[in-house]
Amino acid sequence: MLSTLLESRHITPPLPDAKAGELAGQIAEATGWQPYPQSIAATGGVVAFLARRGTEKRLCLLWREGSQPDLVSDFCREQVSAEIDGVKLAGQAGYLDHMNAEGLRKHFSFTRPRLIGVQPSFGAGDRLGLATPAHVRSVRASDMRPFFAQQSIREMTRTGRTPEQVMDSATFGVFQEGWREGFGADADHLKTKEDINLTVAAGFTMFTIDPGDHVDNAAEAANMPLLSEKLAALPWPALRINSEDLCRRFIGQSCRLPDDSVVTLDEEAFFRAAAKYGRALAHTAQMYRHLKAKMGGRPFELEMSVDETATPTSVEEHVFVAGELRRLGVEWVSLAPRFVGEFEKGVDYIGDLAAFERSFASHVAVARHFGPYKISIHSGSDKFSIYPIAARLAGDLVHLKTAGTSYLEALRAIATIDPALFREILAFAIERYPEDRASYHVSADLGKVPAPEGLKDSDLSAVLDQFDAREVLHVTFGSVLTAQVGGTPRFRDRLMRALEENEEIHYDTVRAHIERHVRPFARAG
């Protein structure tokens, strides 16, 4: 079996579980490194695998002694040697660093992100850089196409990570689990051209433009004279049209949607939509053109997100936004409106489900008419009550985006693995919440969060099911991961070490939770 792999010039298909396990055992006996069986793959005369010794992980390569495979030079070198079934092998065991991640992406194409397109998809943010194997396991039997690399610049700043680190951890996780079905990489909530530059350089494939700072929420309640002033003050050169022509494009014009509903913008509805979203559209178009130039002809996907704004996006406003994106030459694969109701972090939907269903159906109809493109559900973690509605109404036109929920489930694992550490983190989160909540829309009441010192070890996991505690732990992630005492991380190293030492507990905890997110979107039959 090993000899056959070593003769392969091209990427070998996944080994059957029994054969992968057998070969992993032989490699472990010969090298002292225990391979993850599903990771074993070969190309260009080299067998590659991810392996573990204690809590240390390495990317290992083996080839016939005396041969000089070309691809080896693209990986860091720490020489090893072995003999398996009489075959003498040379090799190396390298750290999970950026150079080795780039080597994998170059020679094992399934570890490179790709375009996902208009297919039902799921974004799995990984704030710790350890959860991708669990995310892979959660979508194996799912119809959802995964984005395993997904993080916003805000999250990277708060966790002290770079776009390259986000991409690399996804690459190694995909390789470890032997995922061959493809995945996307979402540079989330980009606000500046510099954000684009950083994430393009790191190899992301989808770019979520967040023009929320340019949305005029005051237009929601403004009277007509004020709306007229706001319209006149829009950046018309950037919009590449004048106010008179824009008025003619929309006022009194009817749009029949695929559900046979008709949307007509009267003067007030148009003025309100243009005043509210005009600057956001100009910013999005400028960001799109910069991104297109930066990509230099390479294909990419774009999402526009206005979810983190104060007022819901009406169906009339959605028609205006989609129509203007099209006129401005922007090509997009998904759009995240601001839905009715409340999408607070890490907890279920708060609001009238019937009202959400009516509104969501309208947004899907607009997406079918102007696209089709996907409706993206941001702050989508733990919104279990709306998933059946979204799945039924949107079909393939849905992208569900999560991030903090995997961090919270990592804390659930910590509650089992190291109760004392969990209590420390909870106490610290309570202390930090008043400040850290400032940039989030949350409503947790500190008075309802259980005091950590009063909890039995057996009760700690249930804290993650309590509304207020879950939100407090969610929004304080950055403080927890960057807190220091005397120049030494207060929690991060202990947290990471505990999860690495008990990775199957971590993976199982996250997998079970993420499966609850993707299961409602399974296609019937």
Q: What is the tens place of the pLDDT at every residue in 351-379? A: 999 999 999 999 999 999 999 999 999 99
The verdict on residue 292 lying in a domain is no
| 468-522 pLDDT, tens digit each | 999 999 999 999 999 999 999 999 999 999 999 999 999 999 999 999 999 999 9
460 and 485 part of one domain: yes
Question: Looking at this protein, which amino acid is placed at residue 323?
Answer: G
455 and 348 part of one domain: no
349 and 462 part of one domain: no
Question: Looking at this protein, which amino acid is placed at residue 198?
Answer: L
Distance CA 483, CA 488 (A): 8
Decide if 44 contacts 109 (C-beta within 8 A): no
Distance CA 343, CA 441 (A): 8
255 and 350 part of one domain: yes
Maximum alpha-carbon separation in the chain: 86
Decide if 171 contacts 105 (C-beta within 8 A): yes
Instruction: Let me know how long the chain is.
Output: 525
Distance CA 509, CA 499 (A): 11
Give the list of residues 6+ apart from residue 186 with CB closer than 8 angstroms, or none: 123, 147, 149, 150, 151, 204, 205, 206, 207, 208, 303, 401
* Structural domain containing residue 369: 212-281+300-375+382-395
Give the list of residues 6+ apart from residue 132 with CB closer than 8 angstroms, or none: 124, 126, 148, 169, 170, 172, 173, 174, 176, 177
Q: At what angle do helices 387-394 and 353-370 cross, to 10 degrees?
A: 30
Distance CA 269, CA 505 (A): 53
The tokens of 461 are what? 């996991």
Q: Provide the 3-class DSSP secondary structure of residue 115.
A: coil
The tokens of 68 are what? 């000089």
Mean pLDDT of the chain: 96
Residue labelled with tokens 């070309």:
70
264 and 356 part of one domain: yes
The verdict on residue 161 lying in a domain is no
Residue labelled with tokens 């750290």:
95
Q: List Cα–Cα distances, 498 to 134, 388, 469, 494, in angstroms.
A: 16, 36, 22, 6
| 314-355 pLDDT, tens digit each | 999 999 999 999 999 999 999 999 999 999 999 999 999 999
Domain closes at, from 89, 106, 123: 106
Distance CA 150, CA 206 (A): 9
Decide if 421 contacts 414 (C-beta within 8 A): yes
When pLDDT is cut at 50, 70 and 90, the band that residue 293 belongs to is very high
The verdict on residue 139 lying in a domain is no
Distance CA 318, CA 302 (A): 17
The verdict on residue 476 lying in a domain is yes
Give the list of residues 6+ apart from residue 525 with CB closer than 8 angstroms, or none: none
| Burial class of residue 312 in the structure, from the number of CB atoms within 10 Å of its CB (0-12 exposed, 13-18 middle, 19+ buried) | middle
Active site (catalytic) residues: 188, 303
229 and 318 part of one domain: yes
The verdict on residue 113 lying in a domain is no
Pairing outcome for strands 206-209 and 184-190: parallel
Q: Which pLDDT score, from 0 to 100, does residue 441 have? A: 86
pLDDT over 50 at 525, yes or no: no
The verdict on residue 202 lying in a domain is no
Could you tell me where the DSSP H helices lie in 113-152?
Answer: 132-139
Rounded to 5°, the CA angle 206-208-211 comes to 155
422 and 367 part of one domain: no
> How many independent structural domains does the chain possess?
3
Distance CA 104, CA 468 (A): 42
Structural element, H or E, at residue 206: strand 206-209
253 and 344 part of one domain: yes
Residue labelled with tokens 């090993």:
2
Nearest to 409 by CA among 512, 517, 503: 512
The tokens of 70 are what? 């070309």
227 and 95 part of one domain: no
Distance of CA 24 to the CA centre of its chain: 31
Which residue did the predictor score with more confidence, 3 or 491?
491
The verdict on residue 155 lying in a domain is no
Distance CA 16, CA 264 (A): 58
Distance CA 215, CA 337 (A): 12
411 and 337 part of one domain: no
321 and 426 part of one domain: no
The verdict on residue 327 lying in a domain is yes
273 and 318 part of one domain: yes
| 224-267 pLDDT, tens digit each | 999 999 999 999 999 999 999 999 999 999 999 999 999 999 99
| 80-97 pLDDT, tens digit each | 899 999 999 999 999 999
Per-residue pLDDT, averaged over 444-449, amounts to 97
Q: Does the CA dihedral 17-18-21-26 come out positive or negative?
A: negative
Decide if 42 contacts 8 (C-beta within 8 A): yes
Domain closes at, from 73, 106, 139: 106
Domain closes at, from 106, 126, 157: 106
When pLDDT is cut at 50, 70 and 90, the band that residue 523 belongs to is confident
Q: Which pLDDT score, from 0 to 100, does residue 524 have? A: 53
Peptide bond into 489 cis (omega under 30): no
Q: Which of the 8 DSSP states describes residue 297?
A: T
